[in-house]
Structure 1
């Protein structure tokens, strides 16, 4: 006959230790990949202008995430999901922008903060976002807030005021500009009274703060001497201005002949990169 103690011990063994009881489980949080918007927008400007399929440094993972999201929406074939933001990806992204109801400049295939965030819903998050900002007036022309800030910093470095000959958001306003001023981020600087050395230095400082900038002369086209400047990675850039920025990164002059860069050579950087080091 089992004693009372023995029965109690037997029941404890059969029941097993209290720690063996199932524990409640908490739902696992999915960590989404991060798309670096600065790197993605840069690739969207440079990659379509390349003669090969070289990837923009630091952009591959972000571009892949964007392309995978476009593929999931049946806007991009799987063979183009390769981390290269070429013309096919530009077209697919423009189609996505149109699906959001955008048109014209807002559906040019260059990622904007709102469309990129919408594309990433449930798939990726957006880091280092870019925005052109509100439109402001300068010298009687329209520019965006980001461009205005860049020009203001260039003036601080130069020690004198810059005067515009042409601003941004000027569709069809100057046929000699081939559409580069149709969107944001692009200005022409008046150089009246500047020496050759001063013109070159202005172009150098504009490049320093994040513009693709060149001194233009009458032998190159139907225009007077001026400095043409396109703000790298301005999300309102017209397609033609995007092409100029891409060519600038590839060592070209930003003209239709795609000749060698004839401006002062410095390390290329965006406005955001400049701000992080100053």
Structure 2
């Protein structure tokens, strides 16, 4: 695979172990009575490429409750009920969604509010629900979901120039994207008329409101643009979620699995839209 294409398979660099926690850290030994959907979505993006013994800090008890419910329905083996939202859990949750009659993106293994609430019946309540909103919203004429459009408007308000999309979501029209735009939450942004500083400031604004965002350059095999993934978008494709994993671990989201080249001045702590809104 050439350097400029997106990876379909992530290789975890364990040097980022400071961000990971051993399975079920103290205080996370029992399943949660209330499941925080934000934490489950975060784990769903960060956990799958990781080794089974690792869990996303703060999310393990919530994931465990989901896994126990999936096990009770005969969809997940006991050995995979470990607080780690790995591939087995992703597949089991997709089976649960299909059992409810969902197909396509609605059966992608990523919890939606309705399916998670139904899974929790008699077991747990869902807190901090996340919704992508309408899939037929738009931003500057490009198709995105409502959550993504709202995030883009918030980032746009932080800079004195306009954020203009060259590619929206829910599209497979660009083969170089390798499936990252097939679902929701993923966009490409034009930077041709911006200075280098303005480009990096746009990256920072996008990251501030909850995007995993990178400046793509000819050195990466692309024309200059910004690629951005709305962290914790429940409609995101598996390829897009792999890139969020890369972002979490300080990588560039490309097939070469290189380090993120964003200058330190334009980096922010990982966040997502709902967390950003709470301040």
Matched residue count = 244
Alignment-derived partner of residue 242 in structure 2: 243
- Give the unaligned 5+ runs of structure 1: 1-31
Q: Which runs of 4+ in 1 moved over 4 A?
A: none
For 1:271 and 1:159, how far apart are their aligned partners in 2? Answer: 21
Contact in 2 for aligned 1:139/1:164 (Cα 8 Å): yes
For 1:165 and 1:39, how far apart are their aligned partners in 2? Answer: 31
Alignment-derived partner of residue 142 in structure 1: 143
For 1:68 and 1:138, how far apart are their aligned partners in 2? Answer: 39
For 1:35 and 1:129, how far apart are their aligned partners in 2? Answer: 9
For 2:273 and 2:59, how far apart are their aligned partners in 1? Answer: 17
Alignment-derived partner of residue 270 in structure 2: 268
Quick one: higher RCO (CA 8 Å, sep 6+), 1 or 2?
Answer: 2
- Backbone CA RMSD of aligned residues: 1.3
Greater Rg by CA: 1
Deviation, 1:51, is 4.5
Give me the TM-score of the superposition, normalised by structure 1.
Answer: 0.85
Give me the TM-score of the superposition, normalised by structure 2.
Answer: 0.85
1:190-215 deviations in whole A, cap 9, x for unaligned? 01111111111111110011000000
For 2:214 and 2:40, how far apart are their aligned partners in 1? Answer: 25
Within a 5 Å distance, the mapping from 1:52-67 to structure 2 comes to: 53-67=53-67
For 1:137 and 1:231, how far apart are their aligned partners in 2? Answer: 15
Alignment-derived partner of residue 195 in structure 1: 195
Contact in 2 for aligned 1:215/1:226 (Cα 8 Å): yes
Deviation, 1:50, is 2.3
- Give the unaligned 5+ runs of structure 2: 1-31
For 2:111 and 2:63, how far apart are their aligned partners in 1? Answer: 11
Within a 5 Å distance, the mapping from 1:114-133 to structure 2 comes to: 114-133=114-133
Alignment-derived partner of residue 25 in structure 1: none
For 2:256 and 2:63, how far apart are their aligned partners in 1? Answer: 29
